[in-house]
Amino acid sequence: MFLDFFFNLRARGLKVTTHNWLSLLEALAKGLHGDSLDGFYAVARCLLVNTEGDYDVFDQVFAETFRGVAIDAQALLNNLDDWLKNPKKLEFLDPALREALKALDMQTLRRELMDRLKRQKERHEGGSHWIGTGGTSPFGQGGAHPSGIRIGGAGGGRSALIVADERRFQNFRRDLVLDTRQIASALKRLRKLSREDGEPELDLDGTIDATARNCGDIEVVMQPPRNNSVRLLLLLDVGGSMDPHAHLVSRLFSAAHQSGDFKELRTYYFHNCIYSKVYDDASFTDGIKTTELLRTLDRRWYVIIVGDAYMHPGELMMSSSDWWDSQRGPSGLNWLAKLADRFPRAAWLNPEPPRLWPHGTIAEIREVFPMYALTLDGLDEMVKGMRRPGDPRRRARVARLASTG
Partner 1 sequence: MKRFTGTSQYIVSEELGRAVDVAVALGRPLLIKGEPGTGKTLLARDIANFFEAPFECWTVKSTTKAVDGLYQYDAVRRLHDSRFGDADVRNIEQYIELGPVGRAFTNAERVVLLIDEIDKADMEFPNDLLHELDTMSFTIAETGREVVAAKRPVVIITSNNEKELPDAFLRRCVFHWIAFPGRELMQRIVRVHHPDIEDNLLASALQAFYRLRSVDGLRKPPSTSELIDWISALRHSGMDPAKLLGSGLPFLGTLLKKEQDIELVGKQVRRGMFGKR
Q: How far is the CB of 193 from partner 1 (least distance, A)?
A: 9
Q: Which is nearer to partner 1, 379 or 402 (CB)?
A: 379
Interface residue with partner 1, options 10, 12, 27, 87 (CB under 8 A): 27
Q: How far is the CB of 385 from partner 1 (least distance, A)?
A: 16
388 binds partner 1 (CB under 8 A): no
217 binds partner 1 (CB under 8 A): yes
Q: Which is nearer to partner 1, 333 or 349 (CB)?
A: 349
# of chain residues touching partner 1 (CB under 8 A): 43
372 binds partner 1 (CB under 8 A): no
Residue 231 three-state SS = strand
Q: Candidates 24-32, 89-97, 144-152, 324-332 — which segment interacts with partner 1 by CB under 8 A?
A: 24-32
Q: How far is the CB of 285 from partner 1 (least distance, A)?
A: 27
Q: Candidates 168-176, 228-236, 264-272, 365-373 — which segment interacts with partner 1 by CB under 8 A?
A: 168-176
168 binds partner 1 (CB under 8 A): yes
46 binds partner 1 (CB under 8 A): yes
Site string for partner 1, 284-323 (x = CB under 8 A): ----------------------------------------
Q: Candidates 1-9, 40-48, 60-68, 82-90 — which segment interacts with partner 1 by CB under 8 A?
A: 40-48
Interface residue with partner 1, options 120, 133, 147, 182 (CB under 8 A): 182
User: Hey, how many other C-beta atoms are within 10 angstroms of the C-beta on 1?
Assistant: 21
Q: Candidates 14-22, 99-107, 290-298, 338-346 — which segment interacts with partner 1 by CB under 8 A?
A: 14-22
Asked whether the beta carbons of 291 and 276 are under 8 A apart, the reply is yes
189 binds partner 1 (CB under 8 A): yes
49 binds partner 1 (CB under 8 A): yes
Specify which residues 236 forms β-bridges with. 269, 306
Q: What is the 3-state secondary structure (H, E, C) of the chain?
A: CHHHHHHHHHHCCCCCCHHHHHHHHHHHHCCCCCCCHHHHHHHHHHHHCCCHHHHHHHHHHHHHHHHHHHHCHHHHHHHHHHHHHCHHHCCCCCHHHHHHHHHCCHHHHHHHHHHHHHHHHHHHHCCCCCCCCHHHCCCCCHHHCCCCCCCCCCCCCCCHHHHHHHCCCHHHCCCCCCCHHHHHHHHHCCCCEEECCCCCEECHHHHHHHHHHCCCCCCCCEECCEEECCEEEEEEECCHHHHHHHHHHHHHHHHHHHHCCCCEEEEEEECCCCCCEEECCCCCCCEEEHHHHHHHCCCCCEEEEECCCCCCHHHHHCCCCCCCCCCCCCCHHHHHHHHHHHCCCEEEEECCCHHHCCCHHHHHHHHHCCEEECCHHHHHHHHHHHHCCCCHHHHHHHHHHHHCC
50 binds partner 1 (CB under 8 A): yes
**264-270 and 346-350 strand pairing:** unpaired
Interface residue with partner 1, options 120, 136, 211, 276 (CB under 8 A): 211
Q: How far is the CB of 33 from partner 1 (least distance, A)?
A: 8
User: Hey, how many other C-beta atoms are within 10 angstroms of the C-beta on 11?
Assistant: 13
Interface residue with partner 1, options 21, 55, 301, 343 (CB under 8 A): 55
Interface residue with partner 1, options 207, 241, 267, 276 (CB under 8 A): 207
Residues near partner 1 (CB under 8 A) are 15, 17, 19-20, 23, 26-27, 30, 32-34, 38-39, 41-43, 45-47, 49-52, 55, 157, 168-169, 172, 181-182, 185-186, 188-189, 202, 204, 207-208, 211, 216-218, 380
